[in-house]
Structure 1
C-alpha cells in the first residue's frame, strides 16, 4: 500500500500528468496513421527523453503505448486500413458497419472495448504481476512451439465452410515466413540476392500492402464505376456528414460484457507470455467470440466482432509489462523499448525496481490505469473530428492521401526503399485474395507464427535429443496440444454430425 501511495505522489505531479495526457494524444494520432505505430514512435522519442525527468519521460511513453492500439481502430473501421497491426481484425466487422452508415456506433464499440481491455490489464499488472510472471517463466521452447500450433489451429476453427481456402492462405503465409536466414544452417532462403530480405519480410510493410494498397486498388476500381461514384456521394450527403461517436447503451453494454471479459482474459494471458504479442490475442479473441455466438454472421458488421479484438489488443498492453517490471524480460517489442527508456533514466527492471525505487515502479503501473481512463473522452473527441474530416473527402483525394501515408509508413520502418516494393507486392496479393474470396487473416497469422514455430521446434529437438515426447511429457506443452486438437476437432465433428444428420 505504501508503494501505491508513493506512485500516486509521482504520478499526480502536474508535469507528469501533462506528459501522460500528451502521450495519449500522440498515441491516438500515430495509431490512426497507417504505417506508424507505438514501437516506431517510442523508438524515435526515447533518445529525446534522455534530458527529461524520469516521471515525465515514462508517463509520456505509457500514454503513447496505451492509446496507439485504440487509435489504430479508427482507419480500420472507416477505411478498412488498420492504423496498427493490432487493429487488423477490427476491420472485419468495423468496416462493414461503417458502410452501413453506422460509423459512430462502430467507433463507440471500439473505444469502449479498448478502455475495458486496457483497464483490466492495468488492474492485472497492479495486483497479479508476481504470480503471472512466475507462470510465464515456465514457458520453454516446447511450450512456445505448441503455443504457435494453437494459434494455427484457430485458422481451422474460424474456417467454417472455407477450410480449403484458409489452409491455402496459411500455406502461403508459412512460405513467406521462411524468407531470410535459416536458424538451423545460417544460409539465406528465398532472398533472391536481396540483402534487405536477410532478416525476413518486415511485418509493417506487409500489412500496409495487404490492407492499404489493396484498399486503394479497390477504391480505384469503384471510382471507375459511375454507379459506385454516385452511390458514394449520396451516402456522404445523407449519412457520413452526420457521423458522431456513440458509446454503447446499457442494453448493448450488458450484451457485450461477456465478450469483453472473455477477450480481456485472452489478452491478459497472451500479454504476459513473452513474444506472443497482440496479433495472436486478437485472432484468438475473435475466434472465441464467433464460437460463442454461432447465431451471428461475423464479418457483416457484428458488434461482438469489434468488441473482441479491441478488448484483447488493449488487454495485452499493460499485461505485457508484467514480465518486464517483475523479471526484466520484455513481453513484446514495444515493452522492450521501455527497458531502454528505464535504463536511460538509471532504473533497473526486476525485483530491484520494486525494492529500490517503489515510487517509480508503482507510478508506471498506476499510469496505465489513468491513461486508459483519460483515453475514453480524448478518443471520442478525436474520432468525431477525424471521422467527419475523412469521410467528407472524395474517393479520388482519399486514395491519394492513403497512398502517401502508406508509402511514408512503409519507408519509415527502417528508412529502406525496399519496404515500398514489399508493400506493393503484398498489395497485389491482397487484391488477388479478395477477388477469389480467400481470407487474408490465415496468411498474416501464419507468416508471423511460422518463424516462431521453426525456431522453437529446432530448440526443442536439441533440448530433447530429437524426441517428440517432449511435447507431451511437459504439462504446459501437453495442455496446449490438447487445446489445439480441440480447436481443430470441434468444427470437424460438427461438420460430420451435420452431414450424418442430412444423410
Structure 2
C-alpha cells in the first residue's frame, strides 16, 4: 500500500490530472474516427514527451489508450465500422441495436462496460505487477536472456495468422537492433561509415514510421470525400432500465476475467479478448440465438473484454520487460526515452513512477464513466462527419514535426518514410509489425545478457541451461515456437489433402 500512497501525491497534482483528462477525451475522439487508432496516436505522441515529466507523459499514454478503446465502439455501433481492431466484436450486436433505434442505449452500455473492464484490468496490474517483480529479483543475465528470447518468440508466433512470418518479423527487428556501436566491445556494426548510424536507428522514428504512416496511406487510398450527415448522428441520452445494470454484472465479471487473462499473454491483444468474451457470453446465455440481433449482453461482453486487456498487457511489460501488446511496447519506449530501463529493477529504482502509472491506468478508466458517455453521445460522434481526405495531410504534418524534433536531423524523416513504406507493404502480405518493434527492444537486451552470462561463466554455454529458471524459460520458448508452427503445418497438410 505504501508503494501507491507514495505515488498518489504526484499523480493527483495539477499537470498529470490535466494530462489524463485531456488525453482521455483525445482518446475517445481518436477511437471514434475510423482510420485512426491508439497505436498511431501514441506513436505520434512519444516524440513530443522528451521535455515532459514522465508521469505527465505516461498519463497521456494511459488516457489515449483507455479512451480510444471505448471510442472505437462509436463507429462500430453507428456505422458497423470498427474504430479499432478490438471493436470488431462490438459490431455484432451494437449495429443491430442502432438499427432498431437503440444507438444511445448501446453506446451507454459500451461506455459502462469499457470502464468496468478498464478498472478491473488496472486493479489486476496494481496487485500482480509488484508480486511478479519480486520473483524476478532471483533472475540473473541468463534468465534475462531467456526472457527476451521468450518474449520475441511468443509475440512472433502469436501475432498474425502465420507464425513463420511472425518469427521472420521478430528476426528482422533483432537485426535492426544490432545497428550502431556495440555496448560491450565498442565496435561499430552495420553503420556503412555513416556517423548518424553510430547510435543505431532511433526506436521512436521507426515506431512512427511503421505504425502511423501505413494507416495514413490506407486512409488516403479510400479517398473519403464525404462524412456522415447530421441526421444520421442525432443521439439522446437514455437511462438504464430498472434491473438492467444488475443483469450485466455477470457478463462484466466474466469478460473482465477473460480480458485480464488474455492481456497477460504476450501478443494476444484486445481483439482476441473481445471475441473470447463475446463467445463466453453467448454460451452462458439462455437465448444464444438473440446474439447478433441486438442483444445488449453482446455489446457489454465485447467492450468489457477488450478494455480488460489494456492494463493487464502492462503486467509482463513492467515486470519482465516483455510487452503484452504493441501499446505496451510503446510504453516501454516512453520509459526508455526518459532514461529508465524497463524490467524488474524498475519497481525498485523508480517505485513512484511505476506506481503512478498504474494509478493513471485506473484513473483514466474511471474518467470514462464521467466523460465517455456524455461526450460520445453528444460531441465526438459528430466528428464522423469529417471526410477522410482532411485527416491525411494533418496527420502527415504532425508526424514530420514530431520526428524532426527528436534529434533535429532531416535524415530521420527519410528513416520514417522508409519504415512507413516498408510497414505498408509488409501489412499487404500479412507480416505483423509488432514483432519488429519488439525485436528492436528485446534484441539488445538478449545480446547483452547472454554475453554477460558467458563472461561470468568464462565461456561455458551450459550455464545458460543449468539454472532451474533458465531451463524452464528455455523449454517454454521451444514450446511456444514449435506448437503453433506444428499446428500451421498440419492445417496446410489437411488443406492440400482436401
Settle same-fold status: TM greater than 0.5.
yes
Partner of 2:200: 200
Partner of 1:458: 451
Secondary structure class of the residue paired with 1:45: coil
Partner of 2:395: 402
The question of whether the paired residues in 2 share the 8 Å contact of 1:289 and 1:304 is answered with: no
Q: Does 1:475 align with 2:468?
A: yes
Q: For residues 397 and 486 of structure 1, do their structure 2 counterparts lie closer, same or farther at Cα, with a shift above 3 Å needed?
A: same
Superposed CA deviations along residues 209-267 of structure 1, whole A, max 9, x for unmatched, are 123221222222222xxxxx47x65x66786786999999556534522322314555x
Alignment of 1:276-315 (within 5 A): 281=266, 283-284=267-268, 311-315=308-312
Q: For residues 218 and 481 of structure 1, do their structure 2 counterparts lie closer, same or farther at Cα, with a shift above 3 Å needed?
A: same
The question of whether the paired residues in 1 share the 8 Å contact of 2:121 and 2:308 is answered with: yes
State the alpha-carbon separation in 1 of the partners of residues 125 and 118 from structure 2.
11
Q: Does 1:377 align with 2:384?
A: no
Partner of 1:413: 406
Superposed CA deviations along residues 164-200 of structure 1, whole A, max 9, x for unmatched, are 4334333332222222222343222233444333222
The question of whether the paired residues in 2 share the 8 Å contact of 1:241 and 1:392 is answered with: no
Of residues 10, 20, 25, the one that matches 1:24 is 20
Superposed CA deviations along residues 344-401 of structure 1, whole A, max 9, x for unmatched, are xxxxx969999xxxxx999998777556534543355566677435422112111111
The question of whether the paired residues in 1 share the 8 Å contact of 2:44 and 2:208 is answered with: no
Superposed CA deviations along residues 16-45 of structure 1, whole A, max 9, x for unmatched, are 465553231244367768356776666423
Partner of 2:293: none
The question of whether the paired residues in 1 share the 8 Å contact of 2:153 and 2:167 is answered with: no
Unaligned ranges ≥5, structure 1: 48-57, 80-89, 224-228, 267-280, 324-330, 341-348, 355-359
Secondary structure class of the residue paired with 1:34: helix
Superposed CA deviations along residues 444-483 of structure 1, whole A, max 9, x for unmatched, are 3323322222222222221222222222212222221121
Alignment of 1:50-449 (within 5 A): 63-64=59-60, 66-71=62-67, 73=69, 91-94=84-87, 112-124=116-128, 129=130, 131-155=131-155, 157-158=157-158, 162-223=162-223, 229=224, 233=227, 249-250=248-249, 252-263=251-262, 265=264, 281=266, 283-284=267-268, 311-315=308-312, 370=363, 372-374=365-367, 376-380=369-373, 387-388=380-381, 390-449=383-442
Partner of 1:326: none
State the shift of 1:333 in Å. Answer: 6.3
State the alpha-carbon separation in 1 of the partners of residues 41 and 350 from structure 2.
38
The question of whether the paired residues in 2 share the 8 Å contact of 1:69 and 1:314 is answered with: no
Partner of 1:486: 479
State the alpha-carbon separation in 2 of the partners of residues 243 and 193 from structure 1.
63
Query: How many residues are aligned here?
Result: 429
Q: For residues 142 and 321 of structure 1, do their structure 2 counterparts lie closer, same or farther at Cα, with a shift above 3 Å needed?
A: closer
Partner of 2:323: none
The question of whether the paired residues in 1 share the 8 Å contact of 2:155 and 2:166 is answered with: yes
Q: For residues 107 and 22 of structure 1, do their structure 2 counterparts lie closer, same or farther at Cα, with a shift above 3 Å needed?
A: same
State the alpha-carbon separation in 1 of the partners of residues 475 and 192 from structure 2.
39
State the shift of 1:202 in Å. Answer: 2.0
State the alpha-carbon separation in 1 of the partners of residues 58 and 64 from structure 2.
10
Q: For residues 451 and 318 of structure 1, do their structure 2 counterparts lie closer, same or farther at Cα, with a shift above 3 Å needed?
A: closer
Secondary structure class of the residue paired with 1:186: coil
Secondary structure class of the residue paired with 1:70: helix
State the alpha-carbon separation in 2 of the partners of residues 418 and 93 from structure 1.
35
Q: For residues 140 and 402 of structure 1, do their structure 2 counterparts lie closer, same or farther at Cα, with a shift above 3 Å needed?
A: same
State the shift of 1:63 in Å. Answer: 4.5
Q: For residues 36 and 447 of structure 1, do their structure 2 counterparts lie closer, same or farther at Cα, with a shift above 3 Å needed?
A: closer
Moved more, 165-174 or 62-71: 62-71
The question of whether the paired residues in 1 share the 8 Å contact of 2:259 and 2:274 is answered with: no
State the alpha-carbon separation in 1 of the partners of residues 471 and 137 from structure 2.
17
State the alpha-carbon separation in 2 of the partners of residues 100 and 374 from structure 1.
25
The question of whether the paired residues in 2 share the 8 Å contact of 1:151 and 1:284 is answered with: no
State the shift of 1:309 in Å. Answer: 7.2
State the alpha-carbon separation in 2 of the partners of residues 332 and 171 from structure 1.
19
Superposed CA deviations along residues 56-101 of structure 1, whole A, max 9, x for unmatched, are xx7x67744643543565798899xxxxxxxxxx954447978999
Partner of 2:33: none
State the shift of 1:303 in Å. Answer: 9.4
Superposed CA deviations along residues 265-293 of structure 1, whole A, max 9, x for unmatched, are 55xxxxxxxxxxxxxx5x25569859979
Secondary structure class of the residue paired with 2:51: helix
Q: For residues 174 and 370 of structure 1, do their structure 2 counterparts lie closer, same or farther at Cα, with a shift above 3 Å needed?
A: closer
The question of whether the paired residues in 2 share the 8 Å contact of 1:158 and 1:287 is answered with: no
Q: For residues 293 and 456 of structure 1, do their structure 2 counterparts lie closer, same or farther at Cα, with a shift above 3 Å needed?
A: farther
Superposed CA deviations along residues 276-320 of structure 1, whole A, max 9, x for unmatched, are xxxxx5x25569859979989xxxx99999877754552466998
